[in-house]
Amino acid sequence: MAQTDQKPRMPRWGKVALTLSVILNLAFAGLVGGVAARAGFDGTPLRAAISALPFDDKRAFRRDSQRDLRENRQQPRRPMATRQMIESLQAEDFDADQFIAALNEAQQDLINMSNRIQTRLVARVAAMTPQERQTYADELQQRLQDRRGRDWWRGRPRE
C-alpha cells in the first residue's frame, strides 16, 4: 500500500467563503476608516462651516450635495481639457499655455461646484434665527480654533 503525502484540498465553497470574508473585512475596514477620516479635523473653512451646522441641517445639506454630485457626474465631461493636457505633455516642444488652459478648464469645474455648495450654505444660514446663528457661530469658531491648534494630520496639539 503506497502512502501519499498529499494534503486534503480545500473544497470550492471554502475558497469562496474565505474570499467573501476577506472582501467583507476589507470593506468594513474601509468604511470605518472613511468614517474616522470624515469625523477628523475640518480641512478648509468651508468644510468647517458645513460641519458646524446643526445635525439635521448638515444631513439635509449632505443629501442635497450628493444629489448635485450625481447630477454633475451625469453631465458630459469636457474630454478636451484632459486631451489637451496629455497632448501638451507629450509634444516635443512643451506648450505651457495649452497646459495651463487645460488646467484652468478642469479647475473651473471645481470652482463651480464649490460656488454651488457655498450658495446652499449661505441660504441655510440666512434661514436661521439670530439665536440659531449665534449657536452656529460658536460651533464654527470652536471648530476653526481646534483646526488651528492642532497638527490635524496627526490629531495632536502643536508644540
Any domain includes 91: yes
Nearest one of 60, 61, 34 to 47, comparing CA atoms: 61
Q: Residue 147: is its pLDDT beyond 70?
A: no
| Enclosing domain of residue 71 | 45-157
DSSP structure class, residue 86? H
Within-domain flag for 135: yes
Residue 29 lies in a domain: no
84 is a domain residue: yes
Q: Is the pLDDT of residue 5 over 80?
A: no
- Does residue 10 fall inside a structural domain? no
Q: Provide the domain count of the chain.
A: 1
* Residue 85 neighbours by CB under 8 Å, 6+ apart: 99, 102, 103, 106
CA 33, 39, 45, 50 dihedral sign is positive
Res. 134 pLDDT band, cuts 50 70 90: very high
The answer to whether 41 touches 147, Cβ cutoff 8 Å, is yes
pTM assigned to the model: 0.55
Given a cut of 90, is residue 154 above it in pLDDT? no
Reduce the DSSP state of residue 9 to 3 states and report it: coil
Interval 69-115: pLDDT, tens = 777 777 665 566 677 778 888 888 888 888 888 888 878 877 888 88
Contact 48, 42 (CB under 8 A): yes
Q: Is residue 129 included in any domain, yes or no?
A: yes
Whether 136 is covered by a domain: the verdict is yes
| One-letter identity of residue 26 | L
Cell numbers for 35, please give them.
468614517
In a domain, 93, yes or no: yes
**Mean pLDDT taken over the chain:** 76
Residue 40 pLDDT: 47
User: CB neighbours (10 Å) of residue 54?
Assistant: 14
The average pLDDT across 55-62 equals: 87
